[in-house]
Amino acid sequence: MGEGYPAHLGEAGRVPSVPPSVPRVRGGAFWRWLGRTVLRLGGWRMAGELPDVPKLVLIGAPHSSNWDGVWGFAAKLALGLDARILGKDTLFKVPGLGALLRRLGVIPVDRRNARGVAEQAAAMIREADRLWFALAPEGTRRRVEAWKPGFWKIARLADVPVLPVYFHYPDKVIGIGPLWHMGADFDADMARIRAWYAPWKGKNRGI
């Protein structure tokens, strides 16, 4: 246990420190406690360090189960991290659900907008002083041969780096990787990122 992992692989429920430039939720001591408790009861650990940057695109993989959302949100709450996630605007019309989604960092996106989702997300990042935007690059829980280019487009349009985060179910580790800066060659960027993800296994599959 621990070979090949980056620093700070501690006991279940412990999380790495959050640098000053990273966007954080104000207050929320109860939610941080709740997130740590969920991780501890589930036996999950976190490895790696958060980069001290105010804006980036965060990707999480392998995404092979709905449980990824449970552990991912638990880690987000435990860190007190103000990471934003896009959700269909129609979900916010459900009574009571909109407030909860906003509390969890989900923001509505209008898929009917003439500007595409990537353009909307990139504009939101550019206009903010601090914003971490998170998404699953595979776009589905099923195995795919090629990742969707959305996160690459968003990072390029907003001129921000990409932070890879992995779920490794055999050891119950959520790991934080190095920052990647996207170039002009989509295929080359995807090849190097997928190669980095190769050792990590999701609940039902790897990359």
What secondary structure, in 3-state letters, does 115-156 show? CCHHHHHHHHHHHCCCEEEEECCCCCCCCCCCCCCHHHHHHH
CA distance 201 to 207: 7
Going across the sheet that includes 173-176, the strands are 45-47, 173-176, 162-168, 55-61, 131-135, 83-88, 106-109
Q: List per-residue pLDDT tens for the chain, 207 residues long.
A: 445 676 666 688 889 999 999 999 887 899 899 999 999 999 999 999 999 999 999 999 988 888 998 999 899 999 999 998 876 677 677 777 777 777 777 777 666 654 688 888 899 899 999 999 998 887 666 666 668 888 999 999 999 999 999 999 999 999 999 999 999 999 999 999 999 999 999 998 887
Contacts of 10 (CB under 8 A, 6+ apart): 45, 46
pTM for the structure as a whole:
0.86
Give dist(CA 121, CA 154) in Å, integer: 7
